[in-house]
Amino acid sequence: LEEAAFQLQQIFRIDISIALNILGIESMRAGHHRVAFTCFKLAADRGYSKAQFNVGLCYEHGRGTEKDLEKAGFYYCQAASSRHPMAQYRYARYLLQHGPGNPWHRHHQAVTLLEQAAVAGITEAQAYLGVFYMRGLQPQEKRALKYLLLAANSGDAQSRYHVGVCYEQGLGVQQNLAEALRHYRQAAAAGNRHARERLRA
């Protein structure tokens, strides 16, 4: 009986959190940012990862509350620890740009989170990792190309352009100008300015 009561309590708690988060989203769409933030915060403090992510966004962009990157990082971290993919991406970016503590540890943790988010299908994480591995102190070109292709196949025109560069210069793949042109054309058709300039060149 105690177990059943506990289960009901958990379900009730989750349902309230979901409802508060939905109310927050609707309030944000209606332009009621303070109300939205309050709803997100109530749900976030109950441990609901989607609301924790939304609180992070509010703090990062100053919507419904004062802008506070440290608090944004805290809530992204909470959501990321529940394996929220977009929070993993945002928290990784926070760690790389603003995070406290040991730089090597921050870097390692950020890359792990980015890879988890990329595997979960977050295009932004795939694109970020592609460039990250291409431009690092010790470039890992094949790994970079893998993530750039994932992002490009998800519709990211900038990543499609970078894939073209890889084929043109033979980075992580056999040089192939015809393949480079194909990727540049696709990126240009999607509105990428760099690809259009490359095609003219």
Place of tokens 């299908």: 121
Class for domain 1-120, per CATH?
A: mainly alpha
How many angstroms separate the CA atoms of 21 and 49, rounded? 10
pLDDT of the residue at 106: 87
Confidence of residue 139 (pLDDT cuts 50, 70, 90): confident
For the chain, which residues make up each domain, given as ranges? 1-120, 123-200
CB hemisphere CA count around 5 (13 angstroms): 2
Using CB atoms within 10 A of its CB, is residue 51 exposed (0-12), middle (13-18) or buried (19+)?
buried
pLDDT for 1 beyond 70: no
pLDDT of the residue at 201: 83
Confidence of residue 7 (pLDDT cuts 50, 70, 90): low
> Long-range contacts of range 37-42, CB-CB < 8 Å, 24 or more positions apart?
37/63, 37/64, 37/65, 38/64
What pTM, to 2 d.p., does this model score?
Answer: 0.83
pLDDT for 50 beyond 80: yes
How many angstroms separate the CA atoms of 41 and 189, rounded? 42
Model pLDDT for residues 64-123, shown as the tens digit of each residue: 999 999 999 999 999 999 999 999 999 999 999 886 777 788 889 999 999 999 999 999
Contact 14, 48 (CB under 8 A): yes
How many angstroms separate the CA atoms of 43 and 90, rounded? 19
pLDDT of the residue at 172: 92
Cα distance from N-terminal residue to C-terminal residue, the chain: 74
Alpha-carbon distances of 122 from 10, 72, 87, 144, rounded to whole Å? 29, 19, 10, 15
| CATH code of the region 123-200 | 1.25.40.10
Note whether 1-120 and 123-200 share their fold: yes
Confidence of residue 125 (pLDDT cuts 50, 70, 90): very high
- Least confidently predicted of 14-28, 56-70, 72-86, 175-189: 14-28
Alpha-carbon distances of 84 from 4, 51, 116, 121, 178, rounded to whole Å? 28, 10, 10, 12, 39
DSSP assignment of 117-142: HHHTT-HHHHHHHHHHHHHSSS--HH
| Planar angle of CA 117, 118, 119, nearest 5 degrees | 90
Alpha-carbon distances of 39 from 94, 111, 129, rounded to whole Å? 24, 32, 33
